[in-house]
Chains A and B, each alone.
Chain A
Amino acid sequence: MVLRTACRAAAIVLLVGIAATLPAYGQTLRIAMTAADIPTTSGIPNNGGEGYRFLGFPAFDGLIDWDFTHPDKIADLTPGLATSWQIDEGDRTRWLFTLRKGVVFHDGTPMTADAIIWNLQRLFDEKSPQYDPPASAIVRSFVNVLDRFEKVDDETIAIYTKVPFSFFPYMVPTMLMVSPTQWEKVGRSWVAFAKEPAGTGPFRITKVVTGQFVEMSRNEAYWDKTRIPKLAKLVVIPMPEATTRLSALRAGQVDWIEVPPPDAIPSLKAAGFQISLWPYPHTWPYLFNVSDGSVFHDRRVRQAMNFAIDRDALVKFLNGTAKPAVGLYPPDNAYFGNPTLHYSYDPERAKALLKEAGYGPDHPVKAKIMISTSGSGQMLPLPMNEILQQQLQAVGFELDFDVVEWGTMLIAKRSAPEAPASHNDDALNNSLGFSDPSVMPRYFSKASFSPNGINWGHYHDDRVEELLTKAQETFDTTERDRLVAQAHAIVVDEAPWLFIVHDLNPRALSPHVKGFQPAQSWYQDFTQLTVE
């Protein structure tokens, strides 16, 4: 009897032991996204940055990819399906890409120059059978300077820009490449392709359940041997409701959630969950309408507001999930430059500036700000704006909020400030990214004035214009970055925005998830993770 019990116990110990010694290699990581639906799985994901984070870069590659290996600085570019790229010194609108050899798509067919051209036609050639209007529109939103492209030889392709444009490589990762053969095989339909896609990425999409989840599996044949996933599977689940994500994590149904509610962070920490906070290129500002007739036409009013808010108090309210912003770029960034004004909480200086501009305690600045109830990257718009409203009231600003739903704000942002869609508002509280220097002309140049571009507030400064034009024609990266930094310094001094905070992209991870090293990027690397 005793012997039998002992044998059983030994067997159990042995089994448990075997289970425990199984390599972590082979685990599944389940992630709850904030998206309300599965981003498109056909290579060009919708749902913005989150779409590219989970269903873009893990499963597909561009000619150029984002480099996730330097967490201490903003993610830069790294060779993807092209091993190198360079500008044609004879024609500064012609970029040459040398293709990587021996890469195969997930369906086993080789990645060739013809396949790359076919993909570019999918996005830019309305007459090609594979033209994909929604994907094209998403890509064209970022890649707005591409003119045409051609195959030079089996190893090289050329892409032409409309004007000499040194920032072009930063736009290339958006164009993710898929297998033409697979598209033919599923019946020449992007909807069918989305169910069984084939790219070249470190993960391969193996199961798409509409409205519920996408399962990706390790691509053993990935060309970058250092980035063959340690995980066997990566499952991403749309879960728009923050409290639902929180309970799913706490109940052990998922291992990782994006954006836990900030007030849940202390209790998550206490329960042993890992909280990841890391800077990424995100700014949460007010975009001022600086055109004639707006209260923010006067630079002093804009500067006063930048001195009137207590960013640290806001950060404290957010449980440390953000850091103060005093520019589009943070001060430790190479593009920040040397502005003369360093914004800090200085109510006296703000009052002095307001007085200079003709305002005072009896004559406050009255402004109407459009804020959204929620939305991609918008953080917690309602309480955050209420805090700002109180802080600003003490200095002499009377803010009135025009609270709109996210979609309405997107439409306002694409309309000129005087258009009806902008509701006559004096500023827009809309978060924006700055992954690369090409955003500077998008936000601050005359060519990007709304409704044609996204310089909603019509900010314009000849010095900035000149520096940015020069930067985009400068192909020496050091010199180019110096010019961008100079332009940014002017932008900080001129304050076309109220610079408020940079989000730190909070994520909560189960204690079993190991090896996450966040990159300073909207996108992340999932290949080095393990789940114990």
Chain B
Amino acid sequence: MARFIIFRLLHTVLILFGVSIVVFGLIHLIPGNPLDILLPPEAPKEVVDRLKVEFGFDRPLYEQYLAWLWRVLSGNLGTSVFTGLGVTHELLNALGNTLVLALPAAVLGFTLGTVFGTVSAFNYGRWPDKFFSVLTILGLSMPHYWLAIVLVVVFAVIWNILPAAGMGSGGGWPTSWDDVRYLILPVITLSMIPMGVIGRMVRSTVLEILSHEFPTALRAKGLRGRRILFHVLKNAAPPALAVMGLQLGYLLGGSILVETVFNWPGSGQFMNLAIFRRDIPVLQGTVVVIASFFVFINLLVDVLQALIDPRMRR
């Protein structure tokens, strides 16, 4: 097991290195650099050029990349061209805000998805199956920015019982009921896709396992409902876990669309802003950190799968 983890960790380094080169290359394919966006349109070329030198954007690309890499290896993601603030600090801030949404959304989405999928599978072909299938397919196929706008219109504009946008007064983890109110609509919106994906996944996996002979054998041995459910779910868990890992990665990366509609200052908006401003240090830092989330969550999922299913350890 330890060897497996070490091997995967080494893999991770290579993946992150590759990701950083791809991102660096991509951002330089878009015309312009942060200074063109930072300065007013009236800025004469001479002023832009002078600042370019000050920020080092006049140097060859490989030099810029190496300088960045060197800084990152020494634990510093650099500073934003726009705000002058440290990328690490700003990114942690944004990631923290996204986490406030992502965790409740993941818990809600995964729980509902698992319950809906299991109930569907155990009632295959009957009305609960049809009802929950409709729900999960809706969750999966409804554009979530659209749902977000509808929720805002209904709950904030028409009924005026929940806030339309923002994080409340302080930001960060909610400390009062008032802060929680800001969470409700974005969390519901964000939980829809994981709910749908997990729901469909669990349903098909459980159905597949129910078609095996062992549940019949268990029943013949005299086991009843809950015990059988436990065995079935244990067998259905690995694929569902893999999907949950990916979904959690997406949630942590922050949804640009949902964060835009709810004006939520999370990592999705942070990255979106960085793209439009060509804020290279911010973009590089964010992408590498989010990519490492994916890699680590997948690693975690693999370890969990191996723990649940001994066959995977071989």
A452-B46 in contact (CB<8A): yes
* Residues 16-52 of chain B, each 1 if its beta carbon lies under 8 Å from chain A, else 0: 0000000000000011100111111111111110110
B251 CB–A CB distance under 8 Å? no
B38-A211 in contact (CB<8A): no
Nearest A residue to B85, CB-CB: A191
B163-A410 in contact (CB<8A): no
Which of B84, B160, B170, B273 is close to A191, meaning CB atoms less than 8 Å apart? B84
Nearest A residue to B51, CB-CB: A137
A83 CB–B CB distance under 8 Å? no
A244-B260 in contact (CB<8A): yes
Tell me which residues across on chain B come within 8 A of A77, comparing CB atoms.
none
A410-B37 in contact (CB<8A): yes
- A244–B270 CA distance with the chains assembled, in angstroms: 17
Which of B32, B50, B82, B93 is close to A407, meaning CB atoms less than 8 Å apart? B32
Tell me which residues across on chain A come within 8 A of B152, comparing CB atoms.
244, 247, 251
Given A37-B82, A253-B163, A421-B31: A414 touches B36 (CB 8 Å cut-off): yes
Given A137-B47, A210-B90: A251 touches B261 (CB 8 Å cut-off): no
A243-B163 in contact (CB<8A): no
Question: Which of B36, B50, B156 has most chain A Cβ within 10 Å?
Answer: B36
A137-B43 in contact (CB<8A): yes
- A445–B163 CA distance with the chains assembled, in angstroms: 51
A408-B40 in contact (CB<8A): no
Question: Which of B41, B160, B260 has most chain A Cβ within 10 Å?
Answer: B41
Which of A46, A244, A252 is close to B38, meaning CB atoms less than 8 Å apart? A46
Nearest A residue to B260, CB-CB: A241
Q: With both chains docked as a complex, state the minimum distance between the C-beta of A262 and any C-beta of chain B, in angstroms.
A: 18
Nearest A residue to B170, CB-CB: A209
Beyond A141-B40, A211-B90, A244-B263, 5 extra complex contacts between A and B, CB < 8 Å: A210-B83, A241-B261, A253-B156, A408-B30, A454-B44
- A395–B54 CA distance with the chains assembled, in angstroms: 50
Which of B48, B83, B84, B165 is close to A239, meaning CB atoms less than 8 Å apart? B165
Interface residue tally of chain A, by bracket? Answer: 35 or more
Tell me which residues across on chain A come within 8 A of B170, comparing CB atoms.
209
Which of B54, B165, B273, B277 is close to A248, meaning CB atoms less than 8 Å apart? B165
- A209–B172 CA distance with the chains assembled, in angstroms: 11
Q: With both chains docked as a complex, state the minimum distance between the C-beta of B21 and any C-beta of chain A, in angstroms.
A: 23
* Residues 451-465 of chain A, each 1 if its beta carbon lies under 8 Å from chain B, else 0: 111100000000000
* Residues 38-73 of chain B, each 1 if its beta carbon lies under 8 Å from chain A, else 0: 111111111110110010000000000000000000
- A118–B274 CA distance with the chains assembled, in angstroms: 33
Which of A138, A190, A247, A251 is close to B40, meaning CB atoms less than 8 Å apart? A138
Q: With both chains docked as a complex, state the minimum distance between the C-beta of B266 and any C-beta of chain A, in angstroms.
A: 9
A134-B84 in contact (CB<8A): yes
A408-B32 in contact (CB<8A): yes
Q: For chain A residues 438-456, which have a beta carbon within 8 Å of chain B? A: 442, 451-454
Which of B42, B54, B82, B265 is close to A133, meaning CB atoms less than 8 Å apart? B54
- A137–B39 CA distance with the chains assembled, in angstroms: 7
* Residues 118-156 of chain B, each 1 if its beta carbon lies under 8 Å from chain A, else 0: 000000000000000000000000000000010011001
Question: Which of A46, A142, A211, A432 has most chain B Cβ within 10 Å?
Answer: A211
Which of B41, B45, B164, B277 is close to A251, meaning CB atoms less than 8 Å apart? B164
Q: With both chains docked as a complex, state the minimum distance between the C-beta of B4 and any C-beta of chain A, in angstroms.
A: 40
- A414–B48 CA distance with the chains assembled, in angstroms: 10
The 19 sampled A-B contact pairs (Cβ below 8 Å) are A36-B273, A46-B38, A140-B44, A141-B42, A141-B43, A194-B84, A237-B166, A238-B263, A244-B152, A247-B149, A247-B152, A253-B156, A253-B164, A407-B30, A413-B41, A414-B41, A414-B45, A414-B48, A451-B45
Tell me which residues across on chain B come within 8 A of A238, comparing CB atoms.
263
Tell me which residues across on chain A come within 8 A of B164, comparing CB atoms.
244, 247-248, 250-251, 253
Tell me which residues across on chain A come within 8 A of B44, comparing CB atoms.
140-141, 144, 452-454
- A248–B168 CA distance with the chains assembled, in angstroms: 12
B197 CB–A CB distance under 8 Å? no
Nearest B residue to A38, CB-CB: B83
Given A37-B82, A241-B263: A137 touches B46 (CB 8 Å cut-off): no
- A250–B45 CA distance with the chains assembled, in angstroms: 43
Question: Which of B83, B262, B269 has most chain A Cβ within 10 Å?
Answer: B83
Which of A37, A144, A432, A451 is close to B273, meaning CB atoms less than 8 Å apart? A37
Q: For chain B residues 60-107, which have a beta carbon within 8 Å of chain A? A: 82-85, 90, 93-94, 97
Nearest A residue to B45, CB-CB: A451
Which of A141, A239, A410, A430 is close to B36, meaning CB atoms less than 8 Å apart? A410
Q: For chain A residues 1-56, which have a beta carbon within 8 Å of chain B? A: 36-37, 40, 46, 48
Question: Which of B31, B82, B171 has most chain A Cβ within 10 Å?
Answer: B31
Q: With both chains docked as a complex, state the minimum distance between the C-beta of A438 and any C-beta of chain B, in angstroms.
A: 10
Nearest B residue to A376, CB-CB: B41
Tell me which residues across on chain B come within 8 A of A251, comparing CB atoms.
152, 156-157, 160, 163-164
Tell me which residues across on chain B come within 8 A of A149, comparing CB atoms.
none
Chain A interface (Cβ < 8 Å from any Cβ of B): 36-37, 40, 46, 48, 133-134, 137-138, 140-142, 144, 190-191, 194, 209-212, 237-241, 243-244, 247-248, 250-253, 405-408, 410-411, 413-414, 421, 430, 432, 442, 451-454
Tell me which residues across on chain B come within 8 A of A211, comparing CB atoms.
90, 93-94, 97, 265, 269-270
Q: With both chains docked as a complex, state the minimum distance between the C-beta of B233 and any C-beta of chain A, in angstroms.
A: 41
Tell me which residues across on chain A come within 8 A of B263, comparing CB atoms.
237-239, 241, 244, 248
A240-B265 in contact (CB<8A): no
Tell me which residues across on chain A come within 8 A of B94, comparing CB atoms.
211
Tell me which residues across on chain A come within 8 A of B166, comparing CB atoms.
212, 237, 248, 253
In the A-B complex, list the 4 residue pairs whose CB atoms are closest, starting with the nearest: A211-B265, A141-B43, A251-B156, A247-B164
Tell me which residues across on chain B come within 8 A of A210, comparing CB atoms.
83, 85, 90, 93, 265
* Residues 186-199 of chain B, each 1 if its beta carbon lies under 8 Å from chain A, else 0: 00000000000000
- A256–B276 CA distance with the chains assembled, in angstroms: 26
Tell me which residues across on chain A come within 8 A of B262, comparing CB atoms.
244
B278 CB–A CB distance under 8 Å? yes
Tell me which residues across on chain A come within 8 A of B241, comparing CB atoms.
none
B167 CB–A CB distance under 8 Å? yes
- A363–B32 CA distance with the chains assembled, in angstroms: 37
- A194–B157 CA distance with the chains assembled, in angstroms: 35
- A414–B164 CA distance with the chains assembled, in angstroms: 39
A253-B276 in contact (CB<8A): no
- A451–B48 CA distance with the chains assembled, in angstroms: 11
Given A37-B273, A46-B82: A244 touches B41 (CB 8 Å cut-off): no
Q: With both chains docked as a complex, state the minimum distance between the C-beta of A90 and any C-beta of chain B, in angstroms.
A: 30
A253-B165 in contact (CB<8A): yes
Q: With both chains docked as a complex, state the minimum distance between the C-beta of B91 and any C-beta of chain A, in angstroms.
A: 11
Tell me which residues across on chain A come within 8 A of B45, comparing CB atoms.
414, 451-452
Given A191-B84, A248-B166: A442 touches B51 (CB 8 Å cut-off): no
A247-B31 in contact (CB<8A): no
Q: With both chains docked as a complex, state the minimum distance between the C-beta of A332 and any C-beta of chain B, in angstroms.
A: 25
Tell me which residues across on chain B come within 8 A of A40, comparing CB atoms.
83
B41-A430 in contact (CB<8A): yes
Tell me which residues across on chain A come within 8 A of B278, comparing CB atoms.
407
Q: With both chains docked as a complex, state the minimum distance between the C-beta of B137 and any C-beta of chain A, in angstroms.
A: 26
A37-B83 in contact (CB<8A): yes
Q: With both chains docked as a complex, state the minimum distance between the C-beta of A516 and any C-beta of chain B, in angstroms.
A: 23
